Amino acid sequence: MSAPLLQLSFLLTSIIIIFISAAATTTPIPHLPPPPPHSSSDLFTPILAQLGFRELASAAHSLSTTTAAANPSWHGPATIFAPTDSSLLTCPSCSLPLLLQEHTLPGLYSLPFLLTLPFATKIQTLAPSPLCLTISSDHKNHPKNPKLFVNGVEITRPDLYADQNVVVHGIQGFVSHLSPLSCVIERTTSLSFPPAPPVAEFHLMASMLDDAMLRLRISGFSILALALKVKHSELLELRSMTLFAVNDVGIFADYDGGQSFVENLRMHVVPDMRLAAADLEGLAAGTVLPTIEWGESLVVTTAGGGGALAPMRINYVKVARPDLVSNLKIVVHGLAVPFERVNQTDAVGLARIGRCSFNGVGSEVEGKGGVCEKVGPVAGKEPTVEIEGRHGL
């Protein structure tokens, strides 16, 4: 009996040793806490500085703290719509860190993807409060060479930098802080009253108007830019517009120091029509264009397409610089001199048969090869500048 007992004792001892060994091998080994997730905001400063956005690069550190506050779970890639240093000068009172946050989106938005978005798509930014950028394009009208706009500012250098962490698009134009209502989408009403313009369209027109004023001001049209600012609220009601402009030199060259042009600015605005140079050239002689001046219209007195020797004329004035400024809502064409009032009925009839007459203030016009141009004042009438303009216009 001693042998079986000895064997049983040995067996029990072996089982105990096996259990102890198994328990020791299955005990979990404590792991070190995982490193904090990598944030693409760490890359912003060197990338922006290398691309020439020095002002934004100096504020890139703000994204590290702001991202955690606005999007606690977001540590992934981001897209920056980067204004040039010169564009930032248009908003001297703006907070640079906040501007960068408002122009940064979570996720990667390359040019091909942006072109697929519906018109006026709103995307929330990394700003602390819910603020959205509005992405728009003219892809439908110009599929071969579309333009993209973010809050009305043109993306002039798309996909300037792109990798798996960061996409940078260069923008140039008027910049400002986003509205607290930037994420609100206006909804139509079932009442019989006409609905107000959509918020997106309203803000887009405002941005486009600001962009046009900035570009006019730096191009020698500061008087016109100031006049547009005075009529800003009225122009915001338009869906689009075509503006005929005279530069500062041409305005002050007038005998009254440019006062008549400022007073007659409304006669130089064609409402709700965005007529680029190609559109103007397609207009036949005698075409009437409405203006926002009550009771006043413009008449195409010489059709386009005649080349440099026979340029297009409206109200007998040469369109000297077509497509001077162009964005999604506004086209500006440069004139040799300001428009003057003409007798619409006479101008239409004479333009269609290639003959000319006197304009509304009595300046004589004559036809040369189908082209109507002023040749001098009529006795008893105030003198006017020549239709070809001055100072090389």
Is residue 133 within 8 A of residue 105, CB to CB? The reply is yes
d(CA 260, CA 53) in angstroms, rounded, equals 43
β strands within the chain, DSSP E:
78-83, 104-106, 121-124, 132-137, 148-150, 153-162, 166-171, 241-245, 269-271, 288-290, 297-302, 313-314, 317-326, 330-335, 364-368, 371-376
Q: How confident is the model at residue 344 (pLDDT cuts 50, 70, 90)?
A: low
d(CA 152, CA 118) in angstroms, rounded, equals 15
Domains defined along the chain, listed by start: 43-172 (2.30.180.10), 203-353 (2.30.180.10)
Average model confidence (pLDDT) across the chain: 73
Please name which of 256, 207, 209, 216 lies closest in space to residue 231, comparing C-alpha atoms. Answer: 209
Question: Is 82 exposed, middle or buried (CB count within 10 Å of its CB: 0-12, 13-18, 19+)?
Answer: buried
Among 104-118, 135-149, 370-384, where is mean pLDDT lowest? Answer: 370-384
Q: Which two tokens stand for residue 363?
A: 């300046």
When mean pLDDT is compared over 62-66, 139-143, 300-304, the highest value belongs to 300-304
Q: What is the sign, positive or negative, of the torsion defined by CA atoms of 102, 103, 107, 111?
A: positive
Vertex 48, ends 47 and 50: CA angle to 5°?
65
Average pLDDT value for residue range 255-264: 68
Sheet with 132-137, edge to edge strand ranges = 104-106, 78-83, 166-171, 153-162, 148-150, 132-137, 121-124
* Lookup result for tokens 């008087």: 223
Q: Which two tokens stand for residue 388?
A: 């070809």
**Higher-pLDDT residue of 35, 155:** 155
When mean pLDDT is compared over 141-145, 204-208, 381-385, the highest value belongs to 204-208
Please name which of 202, 184, 288 lies closest in space to residue 240, comparing C-alpha atoms. Answer: 202
Predicted pLDDT at 391: 37
Is residue 51 within 8 A of residue 82, CB to CB? The reply is yes
Looking at the predicted structure, is the pLDDT value of residue 233 above 60? Answer: yes
Q: Which two tokens stand for residue 207?
A: 């941005």
Predicted pLDDT at 333: 94
Looking at the predicted structure, is the pLDDT value of residue 71 above 60? Answer: no
Q: How confident is the model at residue 27 (pLDDT cuts 50, 70, 90)?
A: very low
* Lookup result for tokens 């260069």: 170
Is residue 187 within 8 A of residue 196, CB to CB? The reply is no
- The verdict on pTM exceeding 0.75 is no
Number of Cβ within a 10 Å radius of residue 69:
12
d(CA 388, CA 370) in angstroms, rounded, equals 16
Looking at the predicted structure, is the pLDDT value of residue 309 above 80? Answer: no
Predicted pLDDT at 81: 93
Q: How confident is the model at residue 24 (pLDDT cuts 50, 70, 90)?
A: very low
How much of the chain, in percent, has pLDDT values that exceed 90? 9
